[in-house]
């Protein structure tokens, strides 16, 4: 009788273990099917030491990074990208975030260039009474551009232009890409720009593109 009791207890524990494994497997399948931050969080709350807990944490981290990156890109502000870098220093998006931060730092506000501002602030020279004054040179209006990104190679910038032209045919159909090599604290970058007719045109184009979470910064040459 004693052996029978031990066997019954062992069988009971085995059945409970099988039930737990079955429930864990079902919950894991539900989490992977939903493939959302909330689904993996719920799985880890219910099964913190499960065989699939490491995979759940890895996927949760990737989804959280993607969600936060989409939020930063939608906000499209320097502070949003800086916050993303602070929260996800090892993310696959962090290099792109840093480049976009530099896009804002390097004249992204569309402010007048230093030369134009200095020329406006400098007093006009007095004409000499002995000689006729030289004709005044009218400063040319700075060319207006819209910057669509900065990349680590020209090939990457060209590839991005092809994708953007296909994605936004109405907004970009009449525009030609301009690739400008420059230096940043992270090395050589290639800025993808397109010329536009005016500051108003630049703002209008960026307004349209930002509705689709596309980086767009008005700049002047």
* Residue 120 belongs to some domain of the structure: no
* Residue 90 belongs to some domain of the structure: yes
How many distinct structural domains can be found in the chain?
2
Whether residues 93 and 147 share a domain: the answer is no
* Residue 63 belongs to some domain of the structure: yes
Q: Which two tokens stand for residue 53?
A: 């807990």
User: Residue 118's pLDDT band (boundaries 50, 70, 90)?
Assistant: very low
**Mean pLDDT of the region 100-119:** 50
Whether residues 13 and 82 share a domain: the answer is yes
Which long-range contacts does 37-45 make (Cβ < 8 Å, 24+ apart)?
Answer: 37/63, 37/64, 37/67
Position 117 scores a pLDDT of: 35
* Residue 131 belongs to some domain of the structure: no
Whether residues 212 and 146 share a domain: the answer is yes
pTM: predicted TM-score of the whole model, two decimal places: 0.46
Whether residues 146 and 68 share a domain: the answer is no
- What does the alpha-carbon distance between residue 190 and residue 6 come to, in Å, rounded to a whole number? 74
User: Residue 221's pLDDT band (boundaries 50, 70, 90)?
Assistant: low
Whether residues 214 and 158 share a domain: the answer is yes
pLDDT at 152 over 60: yes
* Residue 125 belongs to some domain of the structure: no
* Residue 199 belongs to some domain of the structure: yes
* 15-64 pLDDT, tens digit each: 565 565 678 888 988 999 999 999 999 989 988 888 888 999 999 988 99
Whether residues 78 and 158 share a domain: the answer is no
Residue that is written with structure tokens 């936004």 in the block = 168
* Residue 65 belongs to some domain of the structure: yes
* Residue 121 belongs to some domain of the structure: no
* 119-151 pLDDT, tens digit each: 334 454 555 555 555 554 544 555 889 888 888
Whether residues 7 and 66 share a domain: the answer is yes
Looking at residue 210, which CATH number applies to its domain?
A: 3.30.70.1070
pLDDT at 3 over 70: no
Domain, as residue range, for 79: 2-97
Residue that terminates a domain, selected from 97, 120, 152 = 97
């Amino acid at each position: 009788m004693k052996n029978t009791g031990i066997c019954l207890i062992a069988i009971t524990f085995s059945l409970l273990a099988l039930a737990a494994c079955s429930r864990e497997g079902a919950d894991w399948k539900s989490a992977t099917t939903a493939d959302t931050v909330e689904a993996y969080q719920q799985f880890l709350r219910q099964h913190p030491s499960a065989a699939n807990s490491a995979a759940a944490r890895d996927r949760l981290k990737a989804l959280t990074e993607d969600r936060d990156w989409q939020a930063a890109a939608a906000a499209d502000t320097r502070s949003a990208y800086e916050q993303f870098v602070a929260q996800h220093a090892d993310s696959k998006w962090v290099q792109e975030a840093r480049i976009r931060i530099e896009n804002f730092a390097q004249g992204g506000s569309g402010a007048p260039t230093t030369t134009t501002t200095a020329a406006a602030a400098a007093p006009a020279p007095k004409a000499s009474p002995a000689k006729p004054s030289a004709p005044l040179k009218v400063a040319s209006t700075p060319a207006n551009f819209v910057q669509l990104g900065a990349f680590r190679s020209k090939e990457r910038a060209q590839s991005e232009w092809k994708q953007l032209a296909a994605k936004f045919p109405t907004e970009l159909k009449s525009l030609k890409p301009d690739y400008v090599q420059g230096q940043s604290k992270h090395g050589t970058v290639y800025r993808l720009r397109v010329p536009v007719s005016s500051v108003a045109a630049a703002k209008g184009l960026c307004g349209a593109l930002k509705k689709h979470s596309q980086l767009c910064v008005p700049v002047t040459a």
